Structure 1
Amino acid sequence: MPRFAANISLLFTEAPFLERFALARSAGFGAVEFLHAEGHPAAEIRARLGDAGLSAVLFNAAQGDPGAGERGLAALPGREGAFRDAILRALDMAGEIGCPRLHVMAGLAPAGVARETLVGTYATNLAWAAERCAAQGVKPLIEPINHRDIPGYMLNTTAQAAAVIESVGPERLGLQFDLYHAQVTEGDVTRRFEALLPLIAHAQVADTPGRHEPGTGEVNWPFVFDRIDAMGYRGWIGCEYRPAGTTAEGLGWFAPYRG
């Protein structure tokens, strides 16, 4: 049966961040993921995880300067120092809370910079990050993001991601397969998922086109989840969607999968 993790940056936002761990557990989730710790120290997050009996399975490394509109640093020439600092800080958090996966965002493609330069910077930075992560038992992940939600994002397709992963080494770098982004950009998600299964270290879900909970849009999610399970995928599926109403009201789809 598929295993679902609540993304508590988007779910249970009716409550303050630190209260969402217990709410996720009460709803039947066995794990959580989040975008950022929202300024809370790692020790506090570790305590909330322990109190709720949850695992943390994924979070994002810092994406750069939000005020400047940065959406990741890994592919940006000239930002290598900030990228390395972000990875080291994220590894401190991962070690404290026992999180085995780290999403590393590529960033927006700067105007006037050749794609070959961006790809070279990306691969070099990811290789550096993979070495540091491996020493701590953490796997860095990259995620293609659709052109509609983040225009100008450097990594858009699963083929692009697979090429980067192969260049760095699949044993050192994994694919974060977000079914929402894949559906918007490429479609044919179950066949694409199956073809990339050896590279996939984490998955995420939201319905299209509204990025709300499964069952609110165009995708036949029971079929998709059954197919993914039948393929032998045993990783987590993060629920990275924006509830159409309250989180609790939108969890009807989750009833067959509650842990």
Structure 2
Amino acid sequence: MTKFSANLGFLWNDLPLPDAIRAAGAAGFDAVECHWPYAFDAAGVAESLGETGLQMLGINTVRGDVAAGENGLSALPGREEEARAAIDQAVAYGAAIDAGAIHVMAGFATGPEAEAVFVKALEYACAAAEPHGITILIEPLNPYDAPGYFLASTGQARSLIRKIGAPNLKLMFDCYHIQLIEGDLSHRLSSLLPLIGHVQFASVPDRGTPDRGEVNYHHIFEHLAALGYDAPLGAEYKSTAPTDSTLGWMKRFAG
């Protein structure tokens, strides 16, 4: 049976994080994940995870100056100290709530200097996360939602992962982003499977519930199962209705 994780950056995001975790548990999700949990006390989040029996699969490093439009720090030349502080913050918080992974956000940058900065940041993150059993994730973002984001393709991500060679550095394969960047999801999932640390999904092109749009998620989920991938898949979709009223897809796709 396919397992699902609720991304609480989008689902139940009108609730405080501990309450959103409880709502996800009540709705039947197998795990949770979120974007930036840092406004909430880690002890309270850990308590709600313990109550529900859910694991927090992953959190993100902070974006930087959100008012200025920043979306990550780790590939920005001249911002290395801030990027390391963001990684330290994420590792400490992740360890406190027993999170499985940290998505290290690259930010808007380009060129070889940005790549060198990103590589050093990822090496630092992998070393910091390893004692806690935390995986470091990198995620290509599509050019419609995040024009100019440093990490912009699975090929680029594959090259970075192989270059760094850390066993706890993996790819976040968001089907929504990858469909908009490259398409050909089935073949890409097959070829990238050894590098994948987490899979997310939403409809394309509107990033809504997965039972509409141009991607056949019934096929995608069956394909992942056939490949032997059995970790919870991250529901990271936007909704214009209360979350509980949008979950009909779960029964249809549970398999």
Superposed pair shares fold, TM > 0.5: yes
Which of 234, 237, 240 is the matching residue for 1:241?
Answer: 237
CA distance in 1 between counterparts of 2:162 and 2:232 reads 22
Q: In structure 1, the residue corresponding to 2:87 is in which secondary structure?
A: helix
Q: In structure 2, the residue corresponding to 1:6 is in which secondary structure?
A: strand
Within 5 A, what are the aligned runs for 1:162-181?
162-181=158-177
Deviations 1:147-166 (A, max 9, x none): 00011111111001000000
For 1:155, the aligned partner's letter is: L
Counterpart for residue 34 of structure 2: 34
More displaced, 76-85 or 15-24? 15-24
Q: In structure 1, the residue corresponding to 2:56 is in which secondary structure?
A: strand
- Percent identical pairs in the alignment equals 39
Q: Please provide the CA RMSD for this pair.
A: 1.6
Identify unmatched segments of 5+ residues in structure 1.
none
* 2:44 is the counterpart of 1:44: yes
**Deviation at residue 9 of structure 1 after TM alignment:** 1.5
Which of 210, 215, 218 is the matching residue for 1:214?
Answer: 210
Within 5 A, what are the aligned runs for 1:1-259?
1-37=1-37, 39-109=39-109, 115-256=111-252
CA shift in 2, pair 1:245/1:122, >3 Å? same
For 1:224, the aligned partner's letter is: I
CA distance in 2 between counterparts of 1:74 and 1:64 reads 10
CA distance in 1 between counterparts of 2:252 and 2:207 reads 21
**Deviation at residue 25 of structure 1 after TM alignment:** 0.8
Deviations 1:127-186 (A, max 9, x none): 111111112211110000000001111111100100000011151311000000000110
CA distance in 2 between counterparts of 1:88 and 1:14 reads 27
Q: Give the alignment's TM-score, normalised by structure 2.
A: 0.95
**Deviation at residue 256 of structure 1 after TM alignment:** 4.3
For 1:97, the aligned partner's letter is: I
CA distance in 1 between counterparts of 2:125 and 2:249 reads 37
Deviations 1:37-79 (A, max 9, x none): 1511100100111122211111101121212221111111111
CA distance in 2 between counterparts of 1:115 and 1:73 reads 15
**Deviation at residue 14 of structure 1 after TM alignment:** 4.6
Question: Contact between 1:180 and 1:208, CA under 8 Å: does it hold in 2?
Answer: yes
For 1:140, the aligned partner's letter is: I
CA shift in 2, pair 1:217/1:159, >3 Å? same
For 1:156, the aligned partner's letter is: A
CA distance in 1 between counterparts of 2:240 and 2:66 reads 26
CA distance in 1 between counterparts of 2:58 and 2:17 reads 16
CA distance in 2 between counterparts of 1:3 and 1:64 reads 33
CA distance in 2 between counterparts of 1:56 and 1:241 reads 17
CA shift in 2, pair 1:38/1:171, >3 Å? closer
CA shift in 2, pair 1:37/1:183, >3 Å? same
CA distance in 1 between counterparts of 2:186 and 2:240 reads 25
**Deviation at residue 258 of structure 1 after TM alignment:** 5.5
